[in-house]
Amino acid sequence: MFDELSQLTALDAPVGFEEPVLAWMADRLTRSCDRVECDVRGNLYAWQGNEPNAMTIMVTAHADEVGFMVTSVTPAGYLRVTLLGYPTVMVLPGQRVRILTQNGSLHGVFGVKPGHILSGAEARQVPELGQLYVDVGATSAQQAAEWGIEPGTPLVFDGPLTQTATPGRVFGKAVDNRIGCLCLLELARRVNTMPDLVANVVYVVTVEEEIGLRGAAVATAHIRPDIVLALDTVPAGGTPELGAEELPWEIGKGPLLKVRETRGLSTHRPLREMLRRIADQHGIPYQLIVDTAGITDGTAAQQASGEIAAAVLGIPRRYSHSAVELFDLSDAETLVDWLALLLPELTCREPLMRYKCL
C-alpha cells in the first residue's frame, strides 16, 4: 500500500480544497464501481450494485487534511494565517509548509525566534497562533501578491511519506485520512470480485470532516443507507509521554473498533457485536476504544435518521494533526480484510435491530 499512499499524501487537499484527492479517488474507483458521481458540496460517490430491494451499505473516508489559510500579508511580505481544522499549534515554529496559490505551490516556513536570544522562560513557551508568521522569502507584500498569495490562500504541511527502518511503519503529512481513503479503495477492489455480495455498496469520499463532519451529513441524507461504516485514523498511545490509561491502544496491534466517542457516536451495538464475532472467527486482531478525543463522520451519519446502523473503524496513528503522523500499514491491511469478511454477511436489516417490538 505504500506506493499509492505516497501518491495520496503528496496531494495537497486542505479543508475546502479537496479536489486533488477527489479526482485521484474518482479515477481509481471508476475501475471497480458501476458508476461514480459527485454532489455540489464536493462529496464523491462510487456505487457497486443497484438492487432496489437490497440493503445499502455506505463506506466513508474523508478527503480533507488539516492546514492553514492566509489572513493577511505584512508590508515586509510575511504571511499571517488562521487554521483549517485543528493542526497542532505547538509544533508549528520552524515547520515547513506549502502555499497553494492559483499559480502553483510555493515553499515556506513558520518563522521562529533565534535560540541565541531566547530567554529561559521564553524558550519554554509555545507561541500562540497570532504570534506566528510564515516566511516565503518574499521581500514585500507586493512581491507576495505577484506570486499569487492573497487572503484566502491555503497552506499545508510539507514533507513526503517516509518509511522507517521497521517494515510497514511510515510517517508523513495527511495520513489522516488518506490511509482511510486508500482502505476504502482497496475494499472496493476486493468487493468487485465477490460473487456472493447481495447488498448495494456506496463508497463515499467526504469533504470538510475536519471542521464539523459537514460532507458526511450531506452524503448520508443523499444516500439514505441502512448501514454506515466510517473509516478514519485515531490518536494512539504507546509513546513515552502517554500513560497506558490515557490512550490504551497502539499502532501495529490491529485496527480499532470504536465503542463510543466522547462527544459523538456510540457504535450500533448489534453491528459492533457482528464485527467482533467475525474478527474472533477469523483470527483478526482488533482493539476496542472508548472516549477518544474528537469525533468522526460516523457521528453525523448515525444521526441522519433512525434507520441507520453506524460503526467507526479506525487506524491508530501517533502525532495527530502534525506533519509527521506515524502508523503501521499492517493495521490498514487488516482493516480491509475485516471489512471484506463483514460485507457478505450484511444481507438484511433484522440482525441490526436492537430489540423486537411486540
The residues that are catalytic are 209
How far, in Å, CA of 84 to CA of 156, rounded?
9
Residue 249 near residue 237, CB atoms below 8 Å: yes
Residues linked to residue 65 through DSSP beta bridges, in sequence order: 14
Q: Which of 296, 289, 293, 299 is nearest to 258 (CA)?
A: 289
Interstrand relation of 169-172 and 162-163 (parallel, antiparallel or unpaired): antiparallel
Longest dimension (CA), the chain: 76
DSSP label of 85: S
Residues linked to residue 233 through DSSP beta bridges, in sequence order: 315
| Angle formed by the axes of helices 329-342 and 269-282, nearest 10° | 110
How far, in Å, CA of 97 to CA of 8, rounded?
17
Question: Within its chain, how far is the Cα of 247 from the centroid?
Answer: 19
Cell matching residue 310: 453506524
How far, in Å, CA of 34 to CA of 47, rounded?
6
Hunting for cell 536570544 — which residue is that? 117
Which amino acid is present at 312?
V
How far, in Å, CA of 169 to CA of 81, rounded?
32
Which amino acid is present at 220?
T
Helices (runs of H) and strands (runs of E) counted in the chain: 9, 17
Alpha carbon distances (Å) from 307 to 86, 224, 319? 32, 9, 36
